[in-house]
Structure 1
């Protein structure tokens, strides 16, 4: 399975955390990353996104550029357990998937899948990584590509 993991675009700080919206720079950065992915050989069949506003806005931009459906998932909010996400990945039967979420989850999930631990690598806003996972499990993925705004 190819798994793209993306952190939402840059968001403003003028409201409650759950309601933060993308800035203009955030929208442009997300579109740039989605365009890079569209030009690559890796395209997701489906996007899972966090229900928080900034992740939904990010997924909307990516979905439009990649022509890909979106499903909101309650288990990929900022402080959710990456192990729960891994359990859900084990149930996923598709060939390619994109997850759009937040720090620290995206860093912890990526690290769990590549290195088998949960310390978490940093992600810039709008950044995406591509993981190649023959099977879903701790330490079973290889980092194949990185997309930066």
Structure 2
């Protein structure tokens, strides 16, 4: 299975966390990253997104460029346990799959899948990585590529 993990685009700070919207720069960077993904061999068939506004907006931009459907998932919010996402991946068969979420979740999920721990690595806004997992599980993924705006 191939999973692309992407952090949402840059968002403003003027409202409640769940309702923060993308800035113009955030929209532009999300589109730039999506265009890179579109030109890659890891073009996703499906996007899972956090229910937070900035992630949904990012997923909508990416979805339009990649022409693939989006599903909202409640376990992709900033402070969710990456194990919840791992459980969902174990039950899921579509590959490549793109996840649009937040820090610290994107960092902790990536290290859980690659290194088997949850310490987390930093992600820039609109950054995405490609993880290849012959078997879905902690420490089973290899980092294949990354996309930066």
**TM-score normalised by the chain length of structure 2:** 0.99
Aligned equivalent of 1:122: 122
Alpha-carbon shift at residue 70 of structure 1 (Å): 0.2
Taking only aligned residues, the RMSD between alpha carbons, in angstroms, comes to 0.5
Query: Where does structure 2 lack aligned partners over 5 or more consecutive residues?
Result: none
Alpha-carbon shift at residue 94 of structure 1 (Å): 1.6
User: What SS is found at the alignment partner of 1:130?
Assistant: strand
| 2:18 corresponds to 1:13 | no
* CA deviations over 1:112-146 (Å, ceiling 9, x no partner): 00000000000000000000011110000000000
Alpha-carbon shift at residue 95 of structure 1 (Å): 2.3
Aligned equivalent of 1:75: 75
Aligned equivalent of 1:104: 104
Aligned equivalent of 2:63: 63
* CA deviations over 1:91-111 (Å, ceiling 9, x no partner): 001221000000000000000
Aligned equivalent of 1:141: 141
Distance 2:45 2:146 in 1: 19
1:23-102 correspondence runs (5 A): 23-102=23-102
Query: Where does structure 1 lack aligned partners over 5 or more consecutive residues?
Result: none
